[in-house]
Amino acid sequence: MSSAVSIWIKRRIANTGDFFRNFLLETSQLTYFCMRFFKEVVKPPYEFKEFAKQSKMVGNKSLLLIASTAMILGLVLTIQTRPALVQFGAQSWLPAMVAISIVREIGPAVTALIYAGKAGSGIGAELASMKITEQIDAMEVSGINPFKYVVVTRILSSTLMLPILVVFADTVALCGSYFAVNLKDNISLRLFFFQVFNQLQFSDIFPAFIKTFFFGFTIGLVSCYVGYNAGKGTESVGKAANSAVVFGSFLVFIIDLIAVQVTSLLT
């Protein structure tokens, strides 16, 4: 019995050691991938056409899903918050409370997660497919820098488009909140947005907007990394798409946690 326990403990220790070894290896490779991006992004030639194409694609790919989710988010958040405020006779604060919740935290985080699931998985699967079909190798043979053409343009487009999508999602969510408020009360659109912007401050909007650039950059970086370094075989396409969503979403939460701590220290 004791020998079986000792064998089990040794296996657990070995598995733990392999986990940390693989974690450190992946972290170092991702860091090198990130440093290579910053090196390539400032070197000419610049792929403006591919950048514009990718920006349009990732934006359109996520637009409808983000819009519908934001509308439902505004409706549900308002409907769920109203009964608690009615108990204290503070339903007039409903537009401001919902707006602050959406703009500061819920809007950027939910939009980034949807973006990771929709655009991030698409980028990872696309690059993995290009890898296994040797399209990236063909670019190198043709004298094209595949990293700059494939990776740099997608990371830049992801970094730029996510903040724009977050602003769009916040606007749609506030419109959904307006419709939810008018289910029980009668308030004009002008008065609703006056109450919203009367309570929103620069310290609410600016940090929330800045962190969306980090969300977009991280999702693009991770998605391109897992796709660009995909293994052989068609199963690697599915693995790359899954890894892009899982690791991208996890890093969004980590960055959000850091951003909240930094914001609380500065304000």
Tens-digit pLDDT string for the chain (267 aa) = 445 545 545 455 555 556 567 767 778 888 898 998 999 888 888 788 888 888 888 888 888 999 999 999 999 998 888 888 777 777 778 888 888 889 988 899 999 999 998 899 989 999 988 888 888 878 877 878 888 889 999 999 999 999 999 999 999 999 999 998 888 778 888 888 888 888 888 888 888 899 999 999 999 999 999 988 887 777 888 888 888 899 999 999 999 999 988 887 776
Nearest to 215 by CA among 205, 227, 223: 223
**Residue 17 has what pLDDT?**
56
pTM for this structure? 0.88
In angstroms, the first-to-last Cα distance of the chain is 59
In this prediction, residue 221 carries a pLDDT of: 94
| CB hemisphere CA count around 55 (13 angstroms) | 15
Per the listing, tokens 């890894």 go with 243
Give the model's pLDDT for residue 213. 95
Which pLDDT does position 70 carry in this prediction?
93
Alpha-carbon torsion angle 185, 190, 191, 193, nearest 10: 100
pLDDT, residue 1, reads 44
Cβ atoms of 181 and 218 closer than 8 Å: no
User: CA 169 to CA 204: how far, in whole Å?
Assistant: 16
Q: Determine the residue type at 174.
A: L
DSSP 88: T
pLDDT at 110: 93
CA dist 180 and 72 (Å) reads 10
Q: Residue 211: its pLDDT value, please?
A: 93
Q: Which residue has the tokens 């009360």?
A: 185
Predicted pLDDT of residue 168: 94
Using the CB atoms, write b or e for 135-157: b if 16+ within 10 Å: ebeebeeeeeebbbbbbbbbbbb
- Residue 187: strand, helix, or coil: coil
